[in-house]
């Protein structure tokens, strides 16, 4: 497989390398594109949707924490299910459950508050219920994706292997916010309901395509995770170079978890800033703050796409650690830069373009996680790594929500950046290089 690698110097080369992958990986990645489109069209805008349905900032923080719980726990249950029923049927079940989750988010706008006597069941509660289902498909893929790339790629080119699949997947992340921006150009509702309809359609198509085209003969994805019974053993066997990376990554991700759900609220609730542009054919276009946020996300992802593959190539010359460290640094300082940014649309566009550089280090980061693992153990190492990180990051959302609602958003974002910088400093001092890149 390694001999077939091509030189990856830019996004288009990454696409060409992606299409040379095995059929099962290709089918899974196409399904990932469909679901990523649905997730990215909805998840980044759900905090504003929650506020529309009557939720407070603290509730938004609780929602972010529930997402952290799902991210920590679901991959292991997904692995157990796939082991027992097979990857094809597990993917199909998870796909339909995710589709149903999108449908519940849609229905939440039409479900009135229900008085149960002791308490009132507010409409935003159904967004929480929908999240439990919508994230089901994502619960399956992390370990298998890592393991497949590791098995199919030379150790010294792991970052390039991840850059190929990430470039394709994150193209959906570029397209999705533009769709949302067009649909919520005037205001969030009712355009966001059409966004949810599109997400449902793509989820159905992704589920059907993967069920019909996925080949099970060569499938090893479902055998990578062993469930919770294997966790302690895998943690003890975690390769030594991963431990400082895990510590630093946890600090950085905890910081990001405190504020990630509130990025849209900074634009729509605090700054209340939209975008006015004059186009030769269309004339003057006024975008609502929610639509402007969609433009900002697309700018961020565009920078990510054009820098991800070159950064992976650079890592082969300078090592993985500097590239990963750059990504960590951008993660850490972005919150404080955003909360203190002037209320100027072009400054915000430049700021989110800078934020896109955090994704430039993502392929190198994944290579640094799975690289030290023994061949054939990539999924278990990845699962252990993400379980620990995810478990520690769980309370970050509710902490950020508490500070946002009851203290001050500026303090919340400042504390987040301080925590993130602790992680960056720790990684600079103690982080280890993967020997294949030395």
Note the pLDDT tens digit of each residue in 13-68: 545 555 545 555 566 667 777 888 888 899 999 999 999 999 999 999 999 999 99
Question: What is the rounded distance in angstroms from the CA atom of residue 27 to the CA atom of residue 405?
Answer: 43
Q: Provide the pLDDT for residue 25.
A: 56
pTM of the model: 0.83
Contact 195, 37 (CB under 8 A): no
Confidence band of 336 (pLDDT split at 50, 70, 90): very high
Instruction: Give the start-to-end residue ranges of the domains of the chain.
Output: 23-437
Q: Which residues, 6 or more positions from 407, have their beta carbon under 8 angstroms from its beta carbon?
A: none
Higher pLDDT pick, 425 / 9: 425
Q: Provide the pLDDT for residue 251.
A: 97
* Cis peptide bond N-terminal to 190, omega within 30: yes
Asked if the model's pLDDT at residue 351 lies above 90, the reply is yes
Contact 160, 150 (CB under 8 A): no
Mean pLDDT calculated for residue range 368-393: 67
User: What integer best gives the mean pLDDT of the chain?
Assistant: 80
Beta bridge partners of 202: none
* CATH of segment(s) 23-437: 1.20.1250.20
Q: Provide the pLDDT for residue 116.
A: 84
Q: Provide the pLDDT for residue 99.
A: 93
Mean pLDDT calculated for residue range 345-362: 92
pLDDT digits (tens, 9 = 90+) for 222-259: 444 444 556 666 666 666 777 888 899 999 999 999 99
Q: Count of CB atoms within 10 A of residue 297's CB?
A: 25
Phi, psi of 20 (to 5 degrees): -90, 0
Q: Provide the pLDDT for residue 311.
A: 85
Share of the chain above pLDDT 90, in %: 42
Confidence band of 332 (pLDDT split at 50, 70, 90): very high
Question: What is the rounded distance in angstroms from the CA atom of residue 157 to the CA atom of residue 8?
Answer: 10
Contact 2, 155 (CB under 8 A): no
Mean pLDDT calculated for residue range 425-433: 89
Confidence band of 319 (pLDDT split at 50, 70, 90): confident
**233 burial via Cβ count (<10 Å: 0-12, 13-18, 19+):** exposed
pLDDT digits (tens, 9 = 90+) for 64-102: 999 998 887 776 666 556 556 666 677 788 888 999 999
The structure tokens listed for 146 are: 């890592």
pLDDT digits (tens, 9 = 90+) for 384-405: 777 788 889 999 999 999 999 9
Asked if the model's pLDDT at residue 410 lies above 60, the reply is yes
């Amino acid at each position: 497989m390694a001999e077939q690698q091509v030189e990856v110097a830019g996004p288009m080369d990454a696409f060409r390398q992606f299409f040379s992958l095995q059929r099962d990986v290709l089918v899974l990645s196409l399904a990932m594109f469909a679901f990523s489109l649905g997730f990215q069209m909805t998840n980044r805008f759900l905090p504003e949707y929650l506020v529309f349905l009557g939720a407070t900032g603290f509730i938004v923080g609780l929602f972010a924490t529930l997402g952290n719980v799902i991210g920590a726990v679901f991959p292991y249950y997904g692995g157990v299910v796939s082991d027992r029923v097979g990857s094809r049927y597990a993917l199909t079940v998870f796909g339909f459950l995710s589709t149903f989750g999108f449908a519940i988010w849609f229905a939440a706008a039409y479900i009135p508050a229900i008085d149960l006597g002791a308490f009132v069941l507010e409409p935003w509660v159904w967004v929480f219920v929908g999240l439990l289902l919508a994230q089901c498909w994502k619960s399956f893929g992390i370990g298998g994706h890592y393991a497949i790339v590791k098995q199919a790629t030379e150790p010294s080119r792991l970052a390039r292997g991840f850059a190929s699949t990430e470039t394709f997947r994150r193209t959906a992340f570029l397209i999705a916010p533009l769709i949302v921006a067009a649909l919520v150009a005037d205001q969030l509702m009712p355009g966001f309901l059409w966004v949810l309809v599109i997400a449902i359609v793509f989820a159905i198509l992704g589920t059907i395509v993967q069920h019909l085209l996925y080949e099970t003969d060569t499938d090893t994805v479902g055998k990578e995770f062993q469930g919770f019974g294997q966790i302690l053993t895998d943690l003890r066997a975690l390769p030594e170079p991963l431990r400082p990376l895990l510590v630093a990554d946890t600090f950085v991700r905890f910081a990001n978890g405190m504020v990630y759900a509130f990025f849209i609220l900074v634009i729509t609730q605090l700054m209340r800033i939209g975008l006015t542009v004059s186009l030769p054919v269309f004339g003057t276009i006024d975008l609502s703050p929610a639509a402007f946020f969609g433009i900002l996300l697309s700018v961020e992802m565009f920078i990510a796409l054009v820098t991800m593959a070159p950064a992976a190539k650079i890592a082969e010359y300078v090592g993985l650690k500097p590239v990963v460290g750059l990504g960590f640094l951008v993660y850490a300082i972005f919150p404080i830069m955003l909360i203190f940014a002037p209320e100027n649309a072009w400054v915000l566009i430049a700021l989110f373009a800078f934020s896109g550089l955090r994704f430039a280090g993502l392929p190198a980061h994944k290579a640094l996680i799975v690289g030290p693992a023994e061949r054939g153990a990539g999924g278990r190492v990845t699962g252990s790594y993400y379980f620990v990180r995810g478990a520690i990051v769980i309370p970050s959302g509710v902490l950020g929500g508490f500070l946002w609602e009851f203290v001050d958003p500026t303090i919340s974002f400042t504390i987040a950046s301080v925590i993130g910088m602790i992680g960056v400093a720790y990684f600079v001092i103690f982080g280890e290089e993967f020997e294949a890149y030395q």
